[in-house]
Structure 1
Amino acid sequence: MVTSGEAGVEFDDEMVIIHEKESFLIEGIRPHAVWNNADGTTTMIGITIAPE
C-alpha cells in the first residue's frame, strides 16, 4: 500500500505503477522488484502473510 508518493512493481514481464492511496497484491513466492517511482520520497506499508 502506498501512503504517499508512487511505487513501481515489476514481475514476470509486467510493470505496475501504484499511486498514493492504492495497493497491490502479489504472491511473495513470485520473483518481483519494487522501487520508488516518484521524484521525491515514497512511503509504503508492506504486509506479509505466512502460508498455512
Structure 2
Amino acid sequence: MNDFATPPNHIKFLAKRLFGNCGRIIDGAIAYLEPGGGGPETDHTHAHDHLFIVVSGQATIRLGGERKTLNPNEAFLVKGGIPHSVWNSDAQTTVMVGISVEAEERKNA
C-alpha cells in the first residue's frame, strides 16, 4: 500500500491522493473490462480528457503509439487529442473509474 497515509483525526483509515486539479469534470463512469476487453478497437481522439483510475485488475492504455500500464490504486490523465484506447491486461475482470474532464487548452481559451 505504497503512498497511503492516515489523514489527521482519522482512525483505521488509509488514503492515497490519485489526482489534483485537472480541470472541470464533465462526467464519470465505472467500467468492468473482461479479460481481453477494452476499446475502442481503433484508437480515437476527442475534445475532452480522460482521468482513468484502476480499482482492481490491470489496464493498459494505448496512447499515441506507446503503452501505459495502470495497476490498482493508480491513476493517469489521458489528453483527449492523443489517439488512445484502454484495455484489460489482466487475467481477471479489471474495474476502473473513468472521469471525463474539460481539456486544459479549452478551459483556458
Question: Same fold, TM exceeding 0.5?
Answer: yes
- Asked if residue 10 in structure 1 is aligned to residue 40 in structure 2, the reply is no
C-alpha distance in 2 between matches for 1:20 and 1:50: 25
Query: Displacement of 1:13 after TM fit?
Result: 2.1
How high is the TM-score relative to the length of structure 2?
A: 0.45
- Count of paired positions: 52
Alignment map for 1:1-52 (pairs within 5 Å): 1-51=53-103, 52=107
Q: Secondary structure at the match of 2:61?
A: strand
Deviations 1:21-52 (A, max 9, x none): 00111111221010001000100000001343
C-alpha distance in 2 between matches for 1:23 and 1:50: 17
Structure 1 regions of 5+ residues with no counterpart?
none
C-alpha distance in 1 between matches for 2:74 and 2:102: 22
Structure 2 regions of 5+ residues with no counterpart?
1-52
Which ranges of 4 or more aligned residues in structure 1 deviate by more than 6 Å? Answer: none
**CA RMSD between the two structures:** 1.0
Q: Which one has the largest radius of gyration?
A: 2
